[in-house]
Chains A and B, each alone.
Chain A
Amino acid sequence: MIRRFRDVLDEKLEQLRRGQTPDLSPYRAGSPQGDELAGLLELAAALQAVPAPEPSALAVARGKQRLLAAMAESEREKAPRALGLWPLLKPAFAAAMAAVVCLVLVFAVNALGERSLPGSAFYPVKTIKERIQVLVADTPREQAAVHLRMAKRRLNELQRVTLRDGAADLALLDAMTREMDAALEALAQVPATQSGALVADLASVARRQQSTLLWVQRHSAPEQQAALARAIVRAHETYQMALAAPAQGLKVTRPLSAMAVAAIVEFKGPVLGEDPDVLTVGSHQVGVISVTDMEGRPDLGATVEVRAARLQDGRLVALSIRQTAPPAEGLWVRVNGTITGAYDSTWLINGRPVVFSAATNLVGWLQPGAHVEASGLLRSDGTVLAHDVEVEVAQHEVNLIGPVAERSPDQWVVAGVPVKVVPATYIDETQALAEQSQGASVRAVRQSDGTLVARSITALREEPQASVVVKDVVVARQGDVWTVGDWDVATDTQTRIIAEGDPVGRVAEVSAERRPDGRLRAVRIAVEPTARRETVRIAFQGSAQWVDGTLTVAGHPVSMGEATSAWADDRPLATLRPAPGRTLAVEGWLQPDGTVAADNVRAVRTGKMTELHGTVRTIQDGSLILDDRTIYLDECVEVVAPGGPMSLADIAPGLLVTVMGEAGPDDSFVAWKVLVGGIVPDKGPAPKPTAEPEPAQPPAPTPVTPAPSATPLPTTPAHPKGGHGTPVPPTATPEPSETPSAPGPGGPPEPTPPPTPTPWPTMVIRPKGKTPLPVPPTETPMPTPTPTPTATAVPTDTPPAPGPGGPPEPTPTPTPTPTPTASEPAPGPGAPPEPTATATPMPTLAPKRPRPLPTLQPPGKPMPMPTG
């Protein structure tokens, strides 16, 4: 018996379905039937392997609800029959029969009306019937159900009309929106215990609206896009409301509908930027708001699919964000947020580890609590290798100096004020061990909850007089009492007040002393002028010079006014006329004329401290000549004498002094401290300056001013609290002493060095505000470090090359080492590593003083200047 091919095929398919391997019998491989059978079996196997489509769980539940409702309704319809209506109708049978024809007609019209679309003669029948349904619904629950049903109908009609006409019917769209709003309004009055099924239905309708409207949008005219986009946004919001309803009740919130939505867009790309409220996806910046649907925040560098509303002003606000691929390394990313911690060369910005290297451009000072914006390369371990980091200037700074009343791992009480200690707080114990200190100098930032978080604490051996420096907004001024931030400060006739106009609402810096009764008396109040918004905020560091009566720092003209805060390290100064060669860290506003109006000028220690012994030969304004060497002086200099407090004015020729200071590369010498040793009775030839190293004995304690903030010397680097910071082997090497160069034939050097043209080092200037990110490079995106000009580099303990135990970061190109001064002694065998070569890397130095320098700009690179 010859079997038909279809039967053979069916038999083999059955075998295949049972998981058996069918053979080709009775056909042979290579024969036409054999080949066809093999091909069809292969195809059948492929078909069977296709996964079954899965309906959404919501749809399954919704369908069941619909079924249950239909079943309940059909049972209700049957009930009157059970009551025996028929006998009642019997007397009117004839009339009823007569009405049958009419009824048939009514039902026919009704049925046609149900399927009708706008434009059809039967459509009004449908709408009239719907109005009646709304009228007879007398409870909020029924009303909600009716309106939801109407909204579904409008959506179906809209879809069908779009198919029919090739354009959306916006009147239907409006009607649908009205029905949804009415449904929501009614639903809000239904008790939560009874609204569950309706809310599920609401979610289902809203979801279907979204997908259908997106389809409609693709088939509609351009002028209809905005209206459809708004409807999609509304549907999205409704869906989110319904999803949130079980947890928090049905709350009508429409943050997106309040915006001017122009269109709905969908795109896909890597997450390149992390801000609290904005994600950068590819070249788009998209806002994230309360109704944005996403399962947790996407990972930095991950690929995401975004559906967003494009507003009329071009901004994008995300409706939904879905991560579709894990993070890819090597992307150029941006992180924006608050510094929450630090370890080794890594800082946590909003919890994201950001690694610093010598090539990192740093603007500002990294301190816990500060708000920063960093950009760099995303690495495979999720860390970001920072290339640019900008620190926002804090407006809520508090500096405290005073006795320490309490000390615990979490909190210090200094000058009567509790200050929170966090892992990133840098505790400087170079002057005294924290446990043995009597006082402390604290720099802190006020948080939004009013607590103070310490950025750095310098433990002091002595117990200083309590003083507080607050930088915050002036909240009120009543008589002599100013309220600045959380602080009430009393003023009197001795208080120096620098303010123009009404200070309330502006930022002021208040230096105050804390009286025994705990109240604050202001010594100085400087109110910042209103922000010069047209300028660019910059922060930089460099050597001070005077050129034609103008102060320049790193070659840049700097103006200091009454509102400028001046500091010697952490010690506030009433005034400052910096000595030539003094290294200053300047924060301020770049003016259109190229000058920098300084808000904050801080003298910082950058190099090795050197001691000079000798007899004062002459002293004049701004300098003294010690034997044959000119030493520059300014308000930063502390004068220490065994007999009591002294000032610079008390120093007279003939005094035997020890001057501690820093030697500049051009053989200049800037003093930090003058120790008065005594008067040399014989004013004969000056004793030779000693070349012997001074013992590491610190100077006698100053009776008046505690040395609040001596810089940790490079040879004895401090370790931040809790093992933070780069481990550098501690060493007991005494400070190296200066070997002064022999006086030249021309006598002592000129008091003022010739104003050599200095290129602008250490400048990183960026316009204030958010700048769009560059599109990430596709390959080799490693930033090329900015070359550092060695000739003009300011010596710094920011190391160009990581020392032993330094950060593991391979810097792409080693930054040239700053040229050490010729007078420094060469390290002997077995000597500790040369400080300039082994100094701690930039990130660990960040909280220390001196501050890390921003990387130098390449010489000749034009500086961006505001044109306005």
Chain B
Amino acid sequence: MLARREQELVRRAQSRDSAAFAELYDLHYRRVYTYIYYRVGNQELAEDLAADVFVRGWQAIGSFDYRGVPVAAWLLRIARNRVIDHFRRSGKRETVELEDQHVDLAQDPESEVETHLLREDLMRLMSHLTDDQRDVIILKFFEGMSNAEVAAILGKPEGAVKSLQHRGLAALRRHWDRGEKG
């Protein structure tokens, strides 16, 4: 049902119906944001880049073939490229200096702060992974995607996704056991 609705939206968006694409934005913004957040580790940058992804999506919607991958996977592929592009442009390594981030205390009650710290720990751990391993972990565990979807986004066979998943988890566990949260 949802897939049919989404398919209809894509069709309308491809005929330049901006309201249809705005609806796709509402459906998928959080997912795109989550992926980018775990890649860049900065809320505001993630918000900006996520908005960018949709602008690019609108420009590229004409070339989207629904039979290939779902919209979410397609958007996440754009997001992945956008993140890579961002780091390339800013000439920075793809790690985030988390201690430099400003935690907007004004927005965070106590539990939010705890969650924030947990995410910080997590992202520090993930900084030990390769880009592909990190993508697989994010897409599988935080985005809840299937191996096929992840494979479509990364442009890799499913077997490679499983291997990346195994190696990624094993590396995380190694660093976790060493107490390397920071």
A residues contacting B by CB (< 8 A) are 5-7, 9-10, 13, 17, 36, 39-40, 43-44, 47-48, 50-56, 59-60, 62-64, 66-68, 70-72, 74-75, 115, 160, 163, 208, 211-212, 214-215, 218-219, 266, 293, 305, 307, 320, 322, 324-325
- B 46-62 binary contact with A (CB < 8 Å = 1; else 0): 11101100110011000
Say whether A53 contacts B51, CB under 8 Å. Answer: no
B22 touches A67 (CB 8 A): yes
20 pairs, CB–CB < 8 Å, chain A vs chain B? A7-B162, A43-B169, A43-B173, A44-B141, A47-B137, A47-B172, A50-B119, A53-B37, A59-B47, A63-B29, A63-B47, A64-B22, A66-B51, A67-B25, A74-B58, A75-B16, A266-B105, A322-B105, A324-B109, A325-B110
The answer to whether B166 and A47 have CB atoms under 8 Å apart is: no
In the complex, what residues of A have CB within 8 A of residue B137's CB?
47
Does B142 interact with chain A (Cβ within 8 Å)? yes
Determine how close the nearest CB of chain A comes to the CB of B7; give it in whole angstroms: 20
A44 / chain B contacts, CB cutoff of 8 Å: 141, 169
For window 127-182 of B, CB contacts with A under 8 Å fall at: 137, 140-142, 144, 147, 159, 162-163, 165-166, 169-170, 172-173, 176
Q: A36-B170, A56-B43, A63-B51 are in contact. List 14 more A-B contacts (CB 8 A).
A: A6-B159, A6-B162, A13-B165, A48-B141, A50-B122, A51-B115, A52-B142, A59-B44, A60-B29, A64-B51, A214-B102, A215-B102, A218-B100, A219-B100
Closest 10 CB pairs of A and B: A63-B51, A59-B47, A71-B18, A6-B166, A6-B162, A47-B141, A70-B55, A211-B102, A53-B37, A55-B33
B22 pairs with A53, CB closer than 8 A: no
Contacts of A53 in B (CB 8 A): 33-34, 37-38, 43, 46, 119
B63 adjacent to chain A (CB < 8 Å):
no
B21 on interface, CB distance cutoff 8 Å: yes
Question: With A and B bound together, what is the CA distance between A556 and B139 in angstroms?
Answer: 83
Whether B25 pairs with A64 at a CB distance below 8 angstroms is yes
Residue of A nearest to B17 (CB): A71
Known: A63-B47, A215-B100. Contact between A55 and B29, CB under 8 A? Answer: yes
Q: Does the CB pair B166–A5 fall under 8 Å?
A: yes
Q: Which residue from chain B places its CB closest to the CB of A160 in the assembled complex?
A: B90
Question: Which residue of B is nearest A58, CB measured?
Answer: B47
Chain A residues positioned under 8 Å from B89 (CB to CB): 115
Cα distance A320–B119 in the bound complex, in angstroms: 25
A50, A63, A64, A212 pick with most chain B CB within 10 angstroms: A63
B92 in contact with A67 (CB, 8 Å):
no
A54 vs B44: C-alpha distance when bound (angstroms): 11
Distance from B163 Cβ to chain A, minimum over Cβ atoms (Å)? 5
Contact status B44-A211, CB under 8 Å: yes
In contact, B169 and A71 (Cβ under 8 angstroms): no
Which of A55, A68, A163 makes the CB contact (< 8 A) with B47? A55
| Cβ contact of B101, chosen from A47, A60, A215, A219, cutoff 8 A | A215
Query: Chain B interface secondary structure, helix, strand, loop or mixed?
Result: helix
Which of chain A's residues has its CB closest to B137's CB?
A47
Whether the pair B173, A56 counts as a contact (CB closer than 8 A) is no
Give A648 to B50 CA distance when docked, in angstroms. Answer: 95
Judge whether A63 and B106 touch: CB under 8 Å. no
Contact B102 A324 (CB under 8 A): no
Say whether A9 contacts B165, CB under 8 Å: yes
Q: Select from chain B the residue with minimum beta-carbon distance to A16.
A: B141
Contact of B22 among A50, A56, A68, A219 (CB under 8 A): A68
| Least CB separation from B38: chain A residue | A53
B92 engages A163 (CB within 8 Å): yes
Residue pair A56, B102 in contact (C-beta under 8 Å): no
If the complex has contacts A40-B173, A67-B55, A325-B110, are A305 and B162 also in contact, measured as CB distance less than 8 A? no
Give the Cβ gap from A119 to chain B, nearest Cβ, in Å: 14
Contacts of A160 in B (CB 8 A): 90
- The answer to whether A6 and B29 have CB atoms under 8 Å apart is no
Contact with A along B11-43 (1 / 0, CB 8 A): 000001010011001100110011001100001
Instruction: Give the chain B neighbours of A72 by CB distance below 8 A.
Output: 18
Contact assessment for A55 and B170 in the assembled complex, using a CB-CB cutoff below 8 Å: no
Q: Which residues of A contact B142 (CB under 8 A)?
A: 47, 50, 52
Given A63-B29, A324-B110, the answer on whether A71 and B162 have CB atoms closer than 8 Å is: no
Residues of A within 8 A of B29 (CB): 55, 60, 63-64
- On chain B, the residues within 8 Å of A6 by CB distance are 159, 162-163, 165-166
Q: Across the interface, which residues of B come within 8 angstroms of A10, CB to CB?
A: 147, 162, 165-166
